[in-house]
Amino acid sequence: MTILVTGATGNVGRNVVDQLVKRDADVRALVRDPAKADFPASVEVVKGDLLDVDALRQAFSGASTLFLLNAVVADEFTQALIALNIARQAGIERIVYLSVIHSDVYVNVPHFAGKFGVERMIEAMGMNATILRPAYYIDNEVTIKDVVTGYGIYPMPIGKKGLAMIDARDVGEVAAIELVRRERSPVPLPINRINLVGPDTLTGPDVAAIWSEVLGRPIAYPGEDIGGFEQNLRQAMPGWMALDMRVMAERFITDGMVPEAGDVERLTAMLGRPLRSYRDFAVQIAG
């Protein structure tokens, strides 16, 4: 009985693998570059990607449970559908899919809409899956540390409705818990959805206040210059992706990412500990 993890060398996937190893699961990791797969010796590493049908068939053969993670790429939707079809051919009936919170609300955001389409396929095809819906990752904020410390501003235009940001380590642990639960069940379990959120719902001014406290000096939130945000992103990523992120930020401003009643309590009970907070993260990287 083997749990196959896609995207295994990424921020979330690596945490999933580590948590599965801690739970004595048999783990197989699908990776593009085995040289980056510095996993424990017990982890089986298979080279391939989600558009390589032959590699997928090899990787899925003999696996009983699948963790499906797609990076934000132009053909993300196609990758997911190919992977799920091959999983079905391989007889895999236990799946954990990493979607995104409010995928059914942020309908004009390309990678949200793609993930919602995958959710609909899973459901329409009667596949047995846990659909994890994480909010914005705290870990994304590593990239803005130099701006915060060097210029005294928090530059992310996250708005004033609030985002329930979550630590990728918490995402990985919840995913591992669900993978093991499905793997060890005597029968395939029905579909369920879990919102993955942090302990606090934070606005732009809230995050700036946290940084001010952690750094011991004023950090400002300059507001929502969405056009400037997109132009800055275009220096580091393709135009289509920068536009995707811009539209997402616009929905942050108009809708926020607010958890549903009971989400925080459910996750805290699953983990048996408090969720990691944005302040914990800021303290960790400020040093």
Give the C-alpha separation, 205 to 202, whole Å. 8
Q: Is the pLDDT of residue 287 over 90?
A: no
Percent share of the chain, pLDDT over 90: 97
Report helix, strand or coil for 153.
Answer: strand
pLDDT given for residue 11 in this prediction:
92
Distance CA 283, CA 287 (A): 7
DSSP string, 110-134: HHHHHHHHHHHHHHHTT--EEEEEE
- 10-51 pLDDT tens trace: 999 999 999 999 999 999 999 999 988 999 999 999 999 999
pLDDT at 109: 97
Q: Say which amino acid occupies 63.
A: A
Other CB atoms within 10 Å distance of the CB of residue 54: 8
> Pick from 174, 181, 175, 201: which is nearest to 269 by CA?
174
What's the mean pLDDT in 165-184? Answer: 98
Give CATH for domain 3-137+166-197+259-275. Answer: 3.40.50.720
Q: Are the C-beta atoms of residues 106 and 112 closer than 8 Å to each other?
A: yes
Q: What is the pLDDT of residue 57?
A: 97
pLDDT value, residue 1: 84
Mean pLDDT, the chain, integer: 96
What's the pLDDT at 36?
85
Phi first, then psi, for residue 230 (nearest 5°) are -60, -45
What tokens does 218 get?
A: 């004023």
Distance in angstroms (rounded) separating the CA atoms of residues 168 and 134 = 9
SS3 196: strand
263, pLDDT greater than 80: yes
pLDDT in tens, 93-112: 999 999 999 999 999 999 99
pLDDT of 186: 96
Question: pLDDT tens for residues 78-93?
Answer: 999 999 999 999 999 9
Q: What is the mean pLDDT of residues 184-207?
A: 97
Q: What is the pTM of this model?
A: 0.96
pLDDT score at 245: 97
Give residue limits of the domains in the chain.
3-137+166-197+259-275
Angle at 167 between CA 97 and CA 277, to 5 degrees: 145
| One-character DSSP codes across 28-51 | EEEES-GGG----TTSEEEE--TT
Write out pLDDT tens, residues 122-156: 999 999 999 999 999 999 999 999 999 999 999 99
pLDDT over threshold 80, residue 161: yes
Strands 192-196 and 3-5, bridge-based pairing: unpaired
DSSP 76-112: HHHHHHHHHHHHHHTT--EEEEE--TTTTT-TTSHHH
Backbone angles phi and psi of 133, in degrees to 5: -120, 85
